[in-house]
Amino acid sequence: PQKDELLTSILARLVHQLGIKDDKVVLDILFKNRMVIPSAFLQGHIGELLSQVGHIWHIQPKEIIAQHTHLPLFKPFLPTQRYETLEADLLSGHVNPSMLRTGINASLIHWPISYKICPHCRGNQLELLGHPYWQRLFQSPGVTVCPKHQCQLINTGLTIHSSRRHRFVSAHEHQN
């Protein structure tokens, strides 16, 4: 996992590297649950994920939330109890009501509908790592410029909510 990489990006890269095409097989491997729906902003079922991959990814569940989801954006605006409830939603394995509980679905704030990239950051990722990834900051509402390169972000046209309900969208899919 890279710094500020979305959890769904990490999982999509794994799927891409393994060459798995069947979405349900991917969910079986990653979560042992074929009903999980990928969420770029607030990926849930982290407990189930770590029960499957924790032996190769040594990280605490709350670290995943803090480093690879958008939930930390909400922390300054929520009472501690409510934030902890949202954390528990992301960790538990049953359902993930966090998009509703945070108010994202009903918000006046426009959340991105397509993944965005900085062409310079993407070039650096390919050069240094050999693969691109989705940066969390660039998928945040209101972010239109890369703070490092001070250039406009490019809308990839790859929708954050795939038409295939159980599919992880990889940054490899964006063609320059």
pLDDT (tens digit per residue) in 38-47: 999 999 999 9
pLDDT at 126: 97
pLDDT at 89: 92
86 near 74, Cβ under 8 Å? Answer: yes
* pTM for the full predicted model: 0.91
CA angle, corner 110, sides to 65 and 46, nearest 5? Answer: 20
pLDDT at 100: 66
How many CA atoms lie within 13 Å of 172's alpha carbon, on the beta-carbon side? 15
pLDDT (tens digit per residue) in 4-52: 999 999 999 999 999 999 999 999 999 999 999 999 999 999 999 999 9
Nearest partner of 146 among 129, 125, 173, judged by Cα: 125
pLDDT at 76: 93
Nearest partner of 30 among 11, 44, 7, 6, judged by Cα: 11
- Spell out the residues 6+ positions from residue 8 whose beta carbon is closer than 8 angstroms to its own: 38, 39, 40, 43, 134, 168, 169
User: To the nearest whole number, what is the mean pLDDT of the chain?
Assistant: 92
Q: Where are the beta strands (DSSP E) in the chain?
A: 114-117, 154-159
pLDDT at 107: 73
pLDDT (tens digit per residue) in 82-139: 999 999 999 986 767 776 677 676 677 788 999 999 999 999 999 999 999 999 999 9
